[in-house]
Structure 1
Amino acid sequence: MERDNQKFHGEGRRKFVKQSSLIAGGLLAMPLLSKANYFSGSSDVIKIALIGCGGRGTGAAIQALSTKQNVQLVAMADAFADRLQGSYDNIKDALNEAGKSDRLKVSDNNRFVGFDAYKKAIAEADVVILTTPPGFRPIHFEEAIAQGKHVFMEKPVATDPAGIKKVLEAAAVAKQKKLNVVVGLQRRYQNSYRELYKRAQDGIIGDILSVQVWWNQGALWVKPRKPEYTEMEYQMRNWYYFNWLCGDHIVEQHIHNIDVGNWFKNATPASAVGMGGRAVRTGKEYGEIFDHHAVEYRFADGVAMNSQCRHWKDAPSKVDEEIVGTKGRIYCDRAQIVDHKGKVLYQFDKKKENNPYQTEHDELFDSIAKGEFKFQDAERGAQATLSAIIGRLATYSGQVIEWNTALNSGLDLQPKTYAFDAPPPVMPDASGNYAYARPGITKYFS
């Protein structure tokens, strides 16, 4: 691959792609492809399994079941029975209201609970929806691809570099098997963003000089500890506040904006440096994550992407991206392009906006029904996730974090054993407090 700093960030990007290519090239001939690749039309039922029955999983299942194809939800899996039941009830209500109750076909025997439940649910389906806390995403994606299933998986696709490597390996197998994979970075499926990107590629703002991205919002939910909870269950119920499960909000949420920056730049960052901490959200109930991050990403050509994300109650919210070029700038949220004197060069007609969450599924299931192989989102999902991860490592350590160093570090946050009576990777002290990173003190790489 030739060096082109406008498209790729250099050695880091090339090695990232090369690694996945080598993985694919080293595979032996695959067995006969799953029948999921050969749907010929609406007369064929496309069977869906939902892995992870929280709010996002419930929403994703409803969206999948709202496509025009002949689809049925046939299996569900979650670590918790109460979450599975709640999701089932909400899906049932939504389908009844839409007049599509015949699409819910989850028998009692196909409701699987526990850490290994995903394997059983995947076996029942042609398409798998992966919406558990992201720490589980690599092993669930690996299993879905091993079983020959098409996949919709939410972002992020991992919480640590070891998970990124696992996703890349499975992505290579998915390409060999011609399995469609869509990742829930929905801005790439949104009409306004697609139109803005198209015009950026046509040169309307010239060469990109800088990128600014934000996900600043208020506080989120916390679930109180109950006496019957083991430490593992408590952390899984409050997954957002533990890095092995969530990756911190820079990874779990801000990945959307970071991905937009990567997308418009046609590159991934070579390095990250930044600052962050726990200024407001300091209680033990907030686990180990920070409440704010500010990161300066650098692409190989020297262009910076400045990133902010925070969770502060009663502070102004901003979730947006701005791309500045030699001829003008793009304001993504307002779907507008202007020159440097403020003249509007392009304004997207908001009447033509779509629901990108629905479009993700519409396009995925259309491709599956036609027997097409159109979606290979896993690799770029891994790129966006690693971009966010190096931002977290930078703010936690206070050091410059290089892309290649992080990718090849082997850093693994996952527990040795997935069980409710097993210890999670981080444990509270006698007062119930969790250790958290100290910039300038915490070290990841020598």
Structure 2
Amino acid sequence: MANVNRRGFLGATGALVAGQLGAREATAGVGANDTIGIGVVGVGSRGTVLLKNLLQIPGVAIRSVCDIDPAHLEQGLKTVSEAGQKRPEGTAEWQQLLATDGIDVVVAAIPCDLHARLYLDVIAAGKDLYGEKPMCLTPADLDAVVKATRASKQIVQIGHQRRADPRFLETIGQVHGGELGSLVEGRILWSNSWGPLLGWFGQSQRSGDWIVEQAVHNWDVMNWAIRARPVRAVALGRNDLFRDRQAERDVHDYYSGVVEYPGGIFVNIIHSWVAPQKFNEEYTRLIGTKGGIDFNTGTFSYRPDQKKNDRPFGGGELNNTLLALQAFVRSVRARSEPVCTVEHGRDAVLTCLLVRTAVKSQTVATMEQLIS
């Protein structure tokens, strides 16, 4: 899973995140001062990042860790005990974790094809959930998780950590206020020199393809900034670049496309795993008639006729994974809407599936056809 952590600057973020939270009906469960019992499902690379960040949050206790890999499981248990908490229960079965006493919340980072099954089980068990992106891999599963969440009283936050990042919260608020003028185009780049990643990441049925697993972050930001999901897409790509390293590999290690949003806004994406080291870069940018924003740096840049200097975000480096988990814990305590809802998670994946459909069909793909 993509690891886009920021480190350092944490000040002045609580109010920003709290401002995104809507009131939600209170339920019996964790009180404002109660310890939150957490079960962590999946402690591979991304799950370990989540676990270490959870251990930095006051008032949470890791009570169970689940992983099918014995080495990962043992390392996860050791990480908790070395942080000064009681060694939690360990299991290879998430159903056993869900039955463990004292579990209020589940935090999950497992292969994408298992998300829907686990997320529905967690909601049915009456636990709150922080579930990694992408939320699910099919329109039917996306709808099922949205329906189950809204029929429950559970807090379900999808792991798009940028929605708790001031660099995005502040700048998207200004975009919505008209800072860029009328929106015209967006630009997304994933230029990865650190791959290819193998295993389940290289199998489209399990990961959703890079078009879903990695680009879902960027499309969530675009949907958020534009306040819509797209209507159609065209794209081309290749999935034969690293077959010599993984025979069953079928993900697109290079593709490029154009996505159209309502109002004639076009977003271009280039996504590559064949970049040399000098070209290793990722960005999400949006441009209007007055200027543009680079969301990753928080920098506004303006057209010459605006006679305004570039304006960078002044907060320094950020650990937005920690910020997202802190926001989730606040939502659990307050029973308030999380910063990234299941609807946000659904629409981000639907955008990815639209692009994937265009790449595979080599024709124009429409959202209407995708969700019909």
Q: Are 2:228 and 2:261, in contact at CA under 8 Å, matched by a contact in 1?
A: yes
1:168 aligns with 2:153: no
Identify which of 307, 311, 321 aligns with 2:284. Answer: 321
1: CA distance, partners of 2:170 / 2:323: 15
2: CA distance, partners of 1:376 / 1:403: 22
Q: Are 2:211 and 2:252, in contact at CA under 8 Å, matched by a contact in 1?
A: no
CA-atom RMSD in angstroms = 2.2
The one-letter amino acid paired with 2:345 is: G
Rate the CA distance shift 1:274–1:222 in 2: closer, same or farther, 3 A: closer
**What is the match of residue 293 of structure 2?**
330
Q: Are 1:182 and 1:360, in contact at CA under 8 Å, matched by a contact in 2?
A: no
Q: Are 1:159 and 1:243, in contact at CA under 8 Å, matched by a contact in 2?
A: no
Rate the CA distance shift 1:373–1:298 in 2: closer, same or farther, 3 A: closer
How do 1:279-358 and structure 2 match up within 5 A? 280-283=241-244, 285=246, 287-314=249-276, 316-341=279-304, 343-344=308-309, 346-351=311-316, 353-358=317-322
Q: Are 1:34 and 1:148, in contact at CA under 8 Å, matched by a contact in 2?
A: no
TM-score of the pair, normalised by structure 2? 0.85
Spell out structure 1 runs of 4+ moving beyond 6 A: none
The one-letter amino acid paired with 1:184 is: G
Q: CA deviation at 1:245?
A: 1.3
Q: CA deviation at 1:130?
A: 1.5
| Percent identity of equivalent pairs | 23
The one-letter amino acid paired with 1:191 is: P
Identify which of 145, 148, 154 aligns with 2:132. Answer: 154
1:87 aligns with 2:76: yes
Q: Are 2:160 and 2:340, in contact at CA under 8 Å, matched by a contact in 1?
A: no
Which structure's CA Rg is the greater one? 1
Q: Deviations over 1:157-216 (max 9, x none)?
A: 112233222222223224xx1x22221111111111111111111111111111111111
Q: Are 1:156 and 1:381, in contact at CA under 8 Å, matched by a contact in 2?
A: yes
**What is the match of residue 387 of structure 1?**
351
Q: CA deviation at 1:335?
A: 1.6
1: CA distance, partners of 2:340 / 2:218: 20
TM-score of the pair, normalised by structure 1? 0.72
**Secondary structure, counterpart of 2:205 in structure 1:** coil
The one-letter amino acid paired with 2:77 is: Y
The one-letter amino acid paired with 1:402 is: T
The one-letter amino acid paired with 1:343 is: K
Q: CA deviation at 1:143?
A: 0.9
Give the length in aligned residue pairs: 342
**Secondary structure, counterpart of 1:244 in structure 2:** helix
2: CA distance, partners of 1:149 / 1:350: 35
The one-letter amino acid paired with 2:140 is: A
The one-letter amino acid paired with 1:112 is: T
2: CA distance, partners of 1:165 / 1:82: 35
Q: Are 1:141 and 1:170, in contact at CA under 8 Å, matched by a contact in 2?
A: no
Gaps of 5+ in 1: 1-32, 96-100, 224-237, 409-446
Q: Deviations over 1:226-245 (max 9, x none)?
A: xxxxxxxxxxxx11011221
**Secondary structure, counterpart of 1:245 in structure 2:** helix
2: CA distance, partners of 1:355 / 1:338: 24
Rate the CA distance shift 1:400–1:67 in 2: closer, same or farther, 3 A: same
How do 1:230-269 and structure 2 match up within 5 A? 238-269=199-230
Q: CA deviation at 1:264?
A: 0.9
Q: Are 2:164 and 2:339, in contact at CA under 8 Å, matched by a contact in 1?
A: no
Q: Are 1:273 and 1:401, in contact at CA under 8 Å, matched by a contact in 2?
A: yes
